[in-house]
Amino acid sequence: MVDVTGDPRAPAGTVVKSMDGSAERTLLITLTGRDRPGVTSRLFGTLAEFPLTVADVEQVVIRGRLVLGVLVAYTEGADIGRVWNATEKVATDLDMDIELSTGRNKRVPKRSGRLHVTVTGAPLMPAAMAGIAARIAANGANIDRIERLAGNPVTCIEMDVSGAEPERLRAGLAAEAAEQQVDVAVQHGGLHRRAKRLIVMDVDSTLIQGEVIELLARHAGCLDEVAKVTEAAMRGELDFEGSLRERVALLAGLDAAAIDEVRGELRLAAGARTLVRTLKRLDYKFAIVSGGFTQVTEALVDDLGIDYSAANTLEIQDGKLTGRVTGPVIDRAGKAAALERFAREAGIPVSQTVAIGDGANDLDMLQAAGLGIAYNAKPVVRQAADTAVNVPYLDTILFLLGISREEVEAADAADASL
């Protein structure tokens, strides 16, 4: 590839020319070794002594080991032999390995279909990564970058993928994810992903653990009957409004004081506070929409600083539940309408919303949002949503938005020091 001696290890002082006479070529410098302060500065300080331009740079540190790649371009007449020797001296001084290769500075055609593929596992096994990578390759796509977003309590890896048809890749990776028992999300890259600004979340079995109506039913002594109807409704086997009215009717006569007791029994999903706290730091708006009851969701609004909420309201007379709800029922269509209303009130396009839910009554909301996430959801919901999260940590959703565990912890530490 290199003229003059035929040996790419040309001696100092040799002028390197391309064999076809082109005026510009490239040199790729890759340094590998123990990470420490000053490595990047030292390399670029040396390169600054030569008539080179920086074409590309990538750097990654894994467990204290640095891989730094620098692609520089040079024109005919550059003394690349001296550059070669100078960079090798840097590597020797730093006790690092170095690899150098030359080539033509060809323009690389831009690959279409840039996507983010996020893989989450607890644990994440090599076989899962092998299967995911094989599916990407089988789609004729290329992995351009890999980055770890989290290592505990789940491992999350994000890949930038180019050259893939999104729906075909999503289908293939969904099948592989099921086989490998990991979560895989496929999203469009670029500004589209970063634009998400309103999070709308279901409450029962999503933001909180369990179902509020079942907690009330336990106090009323009708838990088994209510749970059976709830399960069928979440699978989409029953009309939600009809099933809600049927379950609420079983609560007739329950003392309203039981609602206060249920509020005290609520348990947030693991990672819920981290999710809300982190997104609100980034000026996201946060909303909850529930087929449950305002008498309970209002406490969550106050506790978490939720911006918008919608839920059903239990009718209470003479200090007891009547077995009815008042006003329009927040059902499947009602949740989607609430998402659109919240977006209007926030001045945010629906395309910049994220919806999170687990049951069939969340389907319209998930499909209306810019990104619909099925969280530990029923099969019918996982199949219809843009992506699914099947680990019991709600803050895993942050990784789908490109926010790493390290960034979250750093922000928490900064707040704690104030």
State pTM to two decimals. Answer: 0.76
Would 243 be classed as within a structural domain? no
* Rounded mean pLDDT, 377-405: 90
The H or E element spanning position 149 is: strand 142-150
Express the helix, strand and coil content of the chain in percent, nearest 5 each: 40, 30, 30
Based on the domain organization, do 345 and 305 belong to the same domain?
yes
Over residues 381-392, the pLDDT tens digits come to 988 888 899 999
Would 179 be classed as within a structural domain? yes
Structural domain including 130 reads: 115-190
Based on the domain organization, do 88 and 140 belong to the same domain?
no
Q: Check residue 191 and give its pLDDT.
A: 62
- Find the CATH number of the domain harbouring 318: 3.40.50.1000
Q: C-alpha angle with apex 102: 101 to 104, nearest 5 degrees?
A: 145
Would 405 be classed as within a structural domain? no
Q: Check residue 86 and give its pLDDT.
A: 92
pLDDT band for position 368 (cuts 50, 70, 90) = very high
Based on the domain organization, do 147 and 261 belong to the same domain?
no
Most confident of 152-166, 225-239, 331-345: 331-345
Based on the domain organization, do 164 and 184 belong to the same domain?
yes
Give the residue, 9 or 158, on which the prediction is more confident: 158
Whole-angstrom Cα distance, residue 106 to residue 313?
Answer: 65
Q: Check residue 235 and give its pLDDT.
A: 77
Would 16 be classed as within a structural domain? no
The angle, 0 to 180 degrees and rounded to 10, between the axes of the packed helices 257-265 and 294-304 is 40
Based on the domain organization, do 260 and 348 belong to the same domain?
yes
Q: Check residue 293 and give its pLDDT.
A: 94
Domains: count for the chain: 3
Based on the domain organization, do 81 and 141 belong to the same domain?
no
User: Quick check: helix, strand or coil at residue 147?
Assistant: strand
pLDDT band for position 295 (cuts 50, 70, 90) = very high
Residue 204 known to be catalytic = yes
Residue 74, classified by CB atoms within 10 Å of its CB into exposed (0-12), middle (13-18) or buried (19+), is buried
- Catalytic entry in 3, 144, 202, 364: 202
- Comparing 75-79, 151-155, 388-392, 396-400, the range with the smallest average pLDDT is 75-79
pLDDT band for position 229 (cuts 50, 70, 90) = confident
pLDDT band for position 104 (cuts 50, 70, 90) = low
- Catalytic entry in 20, 35, 183, 204: 204
Domain boundary at 190, 223, 241, which? 190
Q: Check residue 23 and give its pLDDT.
A: 53
Give the residue, 371 or 23, on which the prediction is more confident: 371
* Rounded mean pLDDT, 304-323: 95
Q: Check residue 113 and give its pLDDT.
A: 61
The H or E element spanning position 275 is: helix 272-281
